[in-house]
Amino acid sequence: MTTTVPQPAKLRGRPAPCWPGTIAIPLAEFGKSLDDADLDEWFEAFAERNSDMAEYEISSTGHLLIREPTGNPGSVYETELAGDVLFWSRQSGGIAFGSTSRFILPDGSRFGPDAAWIPEGRRHEIMLPENRPFPRIVPDFIAEIKSPSNSNAELLNKIDLFLEHGTKLAWFIDAETRTVIKFRPGQEPETLHDPEYIDGDDDMLPGFRFAVRERIFDLFTDIEHQEMQDAAGEQGSTD
């Protein structure tokens, strides 16, 4: 699939998202709009039919966003984090979500973080009729892990959007730079350089601690080192 980004088009007076690696197609080209009552059913069916080709979201400008699948090792990192959030929530309460979830935000966009969580007191919201097939819910916590198919601008824009609509804590994790940024609405971001752990904060995810260095930054370090040694050995044998 090509990753050429089209020039921004205008819809409802706003430009289409224009991020490297993301294609933005107006919903109108599919005969749809954000106001359609059956948009969620159409979106769910479209994503299922084409799930092996790309990942999909919908912007508040009324564009279908198409990007290459996460692939490895990004998909492994997502599973590591979402799995830990799920395990913690089984002990502490609430509902955990993985990267395949999509949330309908108040501006009409349909976005899915790599991991998300809502507290126990909001569990009932999942089963409300208006929250099917996609929940009209703003998670209390979200996390994004940067992969080669993402740009910083895209993920930070998504984080800002969730914070604007009510998310209380967001993490941005960059395995390449070994950096974590923690965001809270109305506060300056907190940047952590090569941290061993990320704590969930006592007022949000009390007791949750994610071993980011072990589970993401260094998860494949031994394999990478072995590959480098093997390559050096092969080079030496040909000299």
DSSP lists the bridge partners of residue 61 as none
- For a pLDDT cut of 70, what percent of the chain falls above it? 86
Reading the block at residue 51, the tokens are 């799930």
Q: Which domains occur in the chain, in start order?
A: 10-67 (no CATH), 74-221 (3.90.1570.10)
Q: Is the pLDDT of residue 97 over 60?
A: yes
DSSP secondary structure letter of residue 27 = G
Q: Considering the chain, what is the average pLDDT of its residues?
A: 87
Please state the φ and ψ torsions of residue 144, each to the nearest 5 degrees: -125, 135
What per-residue confidence (pLDDT) applies to 12? 40
What per-residue confidence (pLDDT) applies to 5? 28
**Cα-only R_g, the chain:** 19
Given the structure tokens 């205008």, which residue do they identify? 10
pLDDT digits (tens, 9 = 90+) for 30-56: 999 999 999 999 999 999 998 877 889
d(CA 10, CA 217): 40
DSSP secondary structure letter of residue 36 = -
Please list, in sequence order, all residues whose beta carbon lies within 8 angstroms of the beta carbon of residue 212, skipping any fewer than 6 positions away.
173, 180, 195, 196, 197, 198
pTM: 0.84
Q: Ramachandran region of residue 212, left (φ > 0), alpha (ψ -120 to 50) or beta?
A: alpha
Q: Where residue 233 falls among pLDDT bands split at 50, 70, 90? A: low
Cα dist. 97→48, 142, 233 in Å? 18, 9, 44
d(CA 115, CA 142): 6
Strands 14-15 and 22-26 come out as unpaired
pLDDT digits (tens, 9 = 90+) for 135-189: 999 999 999 999 877 888 889 999 999 999 999 999 999 999 999 999 999 999 9
Reading the block at residue 96, the tokens are 């955990």
d(CA 158, CA 167): 11
What per-residue confidence (pLDDT) applies to 21? 77
HSE at residue 145, side-chain half, CA atoms within 13 A, is: 25
d(CA 73, CA 80): 11
pLDDT digits (tens, 9 = 90+) for 181-214: 999 999 999 999 999 999 999 999 999 999 999 9
